Amino acid sequence: MQRTKLSTKSILPLTCSRSGTCCFGKAVMLNPWELIRFSKEKKITSREFRDLYCDFGGIQLRFNGKPDKKGQPACSQYINNFGCSVHQGRPLACRLYPLGRQIQFNKAHYIYQGDKFPCLNDCSEVLQLPKLTVEEYIKGQETADFEKAQDEYLLVMQNIADIGFELLLDSGLAESGDTKTLAVWREMGKELPELLAERIGKEWIDCLMIPNINDDVENPITFAKKHNDLLVLKAQEKFGSLQTLQELHEASVLIIGIALHLSRGLGADTQGISEHWIEIAKSHGALE
């Protein structure tokens, strides 16, 4: 789909009309910090929020509410004639909409998808409202902490993936002539989220999406760093004394699967990332 890159000075019909048309039929992805922010707003545990309102182990908000005129289901957090029930805790995707955020060469850009500005398709009344620059809109939506969480979790994703690389490249597995591991990395990049979540299993999904971190929730960077340490520690405990090539293969697949699942929760191109990682592994001697 066509993507239009915007400058922060671009002026667009960005004022939210609050008619709520953007809360129907969307795929709203979540990172672990966003999930816990939601649960705090809702005054329930992150596990309860995840189990009641999310899909695929917590990486996607469930849309199972009353459908609109087009038959598109409402977000589980949407209340008829009221709007979002968790407005203060809403995630980055909702704060930015109809914009998206793309990272290229370590720099973030705001974009919109399609050949026409999305609000003009679904919500033409925004034309009656005052226009804003992208910068003004983003500021009004208080995206700063949510953008920091997104950026920090991209680092967590890379750190987890690095463990998968070590298990393949530094353990003797790649040197043994193994070809199975990269084949499964590729398969997982294309796998449906429900199948990847099932492959990863409940124990690791819980550690990924509802970590036991109760302090520092207000600070997304500290939270994500603590989460990173928990994941790395768990991997060290589980994979520190593997013996056989089969065990190394399974561990590398599992860890890369977890990193790919997180990438999907970050709204990234999971298939593109898996292909990129495969090319890097091959350039370091792994076979396919």
Residues forming the site for ligand SF4 (CB under 6 A): 23, 28, 75, 77-78, 84, 86, 90, 94
Distances, alpha carbon 143 to alpha carbons 55, 73, 218, 254, 256, in Å: 24, 26, 14, 32, 29
210 versus 255: smaller Cβ distance to ligand SF4? 210
90 versus 199: smaller Cβ distance to ligand SF4? 90
C-alpha dihedral, 197 to 201 to 204 to 207, nearest 10°: 70
Cα 195 to Cα 205: distance, rounded to the nearest angstrom: 12
* Shortest CB 19 distance to ligand SF4, Å: 11
78 versus 153: smaller Cβ distance to ligand SF4? 78
* Shortest CB 227 distance to ligand SF4, Å: 22
The closest alpha carbon to 166, from 151, 186, 181, belongs to 181
C-alpha dihedral, 130 to 136 to 142 to 146, nearest 10°: 120
Query: Angle, nearest 10°, between helix axes 180-190 and 270-283?
Result: 160
* Shortest CB 29 distance to ligand SF4, Å: 11
* Shortest CB 195 distance to ligand SF4, Å: 25
94 versus 188: smaller Cβ distance to ligand SF4? 94
* Shortest CB 63 distance to ligand SF4, Å: 8
75 versus 266: smaller Cβ distance to ligand SF4? 75
Q: Are 9 and 134 in contact (CB under 8 A)?
A: yes
Cα 187 to Cα 168: distance, rounded to the nearest angstrom: 16
* Shortest CB 124 distance to ligand SF4, Å: 19
The closest alpha carbon to 43, from 104, 97, 85, 82, belongs to 85
* Shortest CB 75 distance to ligand SF4, Å: 3
49 secondary structure, DSSP code: H
23 versus 126: smaller Cβ distance to ligand SF4? 23
Which amino acid does the sequence have at 73? P
92 versus 132: smaller Cβ distance to ligand SF4? 92
The closest alpha carbon to 207, from 181, 231, 172, belongs to 231
